[in-house]
Amino acid sequence: MAEIGGEWLVPLREEFKKPYYRDLYSFVKKEYESRVIYPPADEVFEALHLTPLSEVKVVILGQDPYHNVHQAHGLAFSVPEDQMTIPPSLVNIFKELHDDLGIRMPEHGCLVPWAKQGVLLLNTVLTVRAHQAASHRGKGWELFTDAILRAVNKEDRPIVYMLWGSPAQLKAQFLDNPLHLVLKAPHPSPLSAYRGFFGCRHFSKCNNFLSEHGVTPIDWSL
């Protein structure tokens, strides 16, 4: 499994010493040795590698990585650029982007350009067995990603959180920094997008908030 370095190492170092993380590491290591696990082992912490703590402007929370072949690459909702099929939830995200900001529908679903601008695309669980959704929930990842969110919550500058769906919204309990903006909406899944994700206008609200506080807004086009 990939290592964590750079700025994230400082706030997360103590997590590595805790019993839950030792158990999690042992479990995940065995899983990679004996099964097909996504994302590739060297991309488990890709969201942290692409978006250093000091550069985080926006946090978008996902749940599990995609569990089908050649989809997960360590960023919530994103798929590699050469993946021809854009997952349904991401299609709905792009639809909302178009309706909100007039951005044309992208031809691919790779969100790396967002991550490089400061959008932390964090799943709450960072690994999954092939074709077995939720197979690594409850193994310790949730505690680790809570620690990531607590680290972001301590940052003394404007940051926006987009919490889509009930599991993501539960994380709001950690997010009490008065300098930050927490946005909530239903999940963009086809099962729930019509219950309020469409029309939530999170992307324009995010950019307006950043601009009002002197922060360069995100270019959401791909």
Catalytic residues: 64
Q: Is the peptide bond before 40 cis (omega within 30 degrees of 0)?
A: no
The dihedral built from the CA positions of residue 56, 221, 202 and 66, taken in this order, carries a sign that is negative
CA 109 to CA 87: how far, in whole Å? Answer: 8
Going by C-alpha positions, the residue among 74, 12, 66, 65 that lies closest to residue 42 is 74
Beta strand pairing call for 119-123 and 128-129: unpaired
Q: Environment class of residue 74 by beta-carbon count within 10 Å: exposed (0-12), middle (13-18) or buried (19+)?
A: buried
Report which residue type is found at 155: E
